[in-house]
Amino acid sequence: MRTSPDRMGSLLLYLVASVPLFVSVVILVTRSDRADGAAGFLVYWLLDIGVGAAGLVALRWRRRWPLQVALLTALPSACLYSVTGPAVVAFTSLAKHRRWQQVVPAAVVFWLCVIVYTRLVGNWVLTAVYGVIAAILLTALTVLGLYLRGRAELAEAQRAAEEAAQAQRVEQAKLSERLKIAQEMHDVLAHRISLLAMLAGGLAYRKDLSPEQTREAALAIQENAHQSLNELRAVLGTLRRDGGPQPPQPTLAHLDALFEEVRAAGQRVEVDDTVDDRESLPAQTGRHAYRIVQEALTNARKHAPGSPVRAEIGGRPGSGLRIRVSNAAPHGAPAGPGGRLGLVGLAERTRMAGGTITHDVRDGRFVLDALLPWEA
């Protein structure tokens, strides 16, 4: 089982703080029998060791009450040795977690305790030397605490930045998914509804239809309405997150069925298919190709109803997949509701696939020309 960095750091701090306590234990064990006044010697060092052990226990609360623990461990160091280790660690923790208003008073108290202790065990010269050393040590501990605080704040800022970046990536992914679903809904529904409009228009304006032909047109309308509901349900199903199987998406292999479907609805379509080695075409590329052709046929029905459409599809691995769909472009034809939004969606789809797409009017015909990548 691996030890976390925080746990390892706390263990090292406790080891450092326990060094004076260990020294006190060694002194007690090795010199108790040889010291003059053994009883007093024994009492002092037992008290020293007990207070030092209590100081180690108090370090547990150094983060919750850093000033209180720092003062509690510093004051006994005026006459006891073992508690010096916990006092050093507690003061460093105070410098790390608190501001100058608390660090400076604690440093003064700690320094005065060092002066008192050295005065009790030595002369004035030793006291002055230890006073200078203590001042330097306390300054170094303050700098160390500030450094550790800076590192902790930097790590927290980096963590917050990473979390914000991750949240932004999640939101971007959600937005991208919504845009993809909206594009799929447009492609599917525009195709189906335009077919319904064509079939319904035929029933409304043609007076020469026999009862059988009228029945066939009504059945075609019913079938397309049913297909519209099914395809809308399939698109909205991508919003679900239950991990269930997704229905297969249309690819290049489904184009023949698409052409038969629109021809059955009355749209005249001429197809020139020269695709080589279509089995090696990536499924995603085939799906894009299907949607491009589907949208082009929908646009032709909306903006040039009744005019024949020519669809040219060709390509091979290494040269790309080219799609060209053209139809008559009536002069001054209104765009209608949602006009040109399908072309915008196709342009975005093609760009994301790494391809190119253009559309313009040439010799009185509206031509949509797309090229999708197809690696060898």
Q: Which residues pair with 366 in a beta bridge?
A: 327, 361
Average pLDDT over every residue of 289-311: 88
CB 335 within 8 A of CB 303: yes
Model confidence pLDDT, tens digit, residues 311-366: 999 998 889 999 999 999 876 554 444 445 667 778 877 887 889 999 999 888 99
The Cα–Cα gap between 199 and 193 comes to 10
| Sign, CA torsion 333/183/313/226 | negative
**Which pLDDT value is given to residue 37?**
56
The Cα–Cα gap between 111 and 128 comes to 12
Is a pLDDT exceeding 90 seen at residue 368? Answer: yes
CB 331 within 8 A of CB 307: no
Q: Tell me which of 303 and 17 has the higher pLDDT.
A: 303
Annotated domain spans of the chain: 5-121, 178-239+247-372
The highest-confidence range among 46-55, 120-129, 210-219, by mean pLDDT, is: 46-55
> What mean pLDDT value characterizes the chain?
76
Is a pLDDT exceeding 80 seen at residue 270? Answer: yes
Tokens of 344: 């915008």
What is the DSSP pairing of strand 320-328 with strand 365-372?
Answer: antiparallel
Please, what is the Cα angle at 71 between 102 and 42, to 5 degrees? 160
CB 354 within 8 A of CB 373: yes
Model confidence pLDDT, tens digit, residues 161-184: 888 877 787 677 666 756 766 666
Torsion of CA 251, 254, 256, 262, to 10 degrees: -100
Least confident of 58-72, 219-233, 245-259: 219-233
Question: How many CB atoms lie under 10 A from the CB of residue 349?
Answer: 22
Architecture of domain 178-239+247-372: 2-Layer Sandwich (3.30)
What's the per-residue H, E or C state across 25-74?
A: HHHHHHHCCCCCCHHHHHHHHHHHHHHHHHHHHHHHHCCCCHHHHHHHHH
Non-local CB neighbours of 222 within 8 Å, separated by 6+ positions: none
